[in-house]
Amino acid sequence: MSFDRRLPSLSRMSLRLAQSGRNAALTATAVLLFAAAANAAQITPEKQPEPADVCPALSHIVSSADFKKLRDEPAAKLPGVDPVEDCRASSHSYDCTFRAHWEADGFVNDPLEEIGADIAACFPNVVHDLNTPTRQHFIVKTADRRVSVTASVQGQNELRLRIAR
């Protein structure tokens, strides 16, 4: 067979080789992309749990007509607080001592500042009238009353929250 007659079959074979090379290149690219995505997924840090939301419990406590009844109400449970063991209640005050179990939200590392920021954020009509390294005091104004909310340091990561009318 002469070279002239072989030329079309050689060009077809070179075309097949080029196509298989392109397919191999595409396959290699896909494998590399998959490996990069798997590696990125492994080095992406796990999402940290959200800090406990104290607003619903604080709002429920502040709006309570009788603090004595709060022991039996799950809506009044602050994160990390056992109302039966850690809180004292009378008709006019609610006083809890607890360890700060929730993590800081990335902006504040001090548990007292964290609870103070939560109190300030929870209520639309709040006056923050005292801010020291060991004590924060707020007045929450409602339609029919003023409620005093005091957060203070009791020990390392131990806080006291006192709510009174």
Contact 96, 86 (CB under 8 A): yes
Max alpha carbon distance in the chain (Å)? 111
Instruction: Please check the confidence at residue 135 and state whether its pLDDT lies above 50.
Output: yes
Domain count, the chain: 2
Q: 102 — phi, psi (to 5°)? A: -80, 155
* Burial grade of 71 (CB within 10 A; 0-12, 13-18, 19 or more): middle
Q: Are residues 98 and 126 in the same domain?
A: yes
Q: Are residues 92 and 154 in the same domain?
A: yes
Q: Are residues 136 and 81 in the same domain?
A: yes
What is the domain range of residue 85? 55-164
82 domain residue, yes or no: yes
Q: Are residues 91 and 16 in the same domain?
A: no
74 domain residue, yes or no: yes
Q: Are residues 26 and 60 in the same domain?
A: no
Mean pLDDT (whole number) for 127-154: 92
The pTM score is 0.64
Q: What is the model's pLDDT at position 86?
A: 84
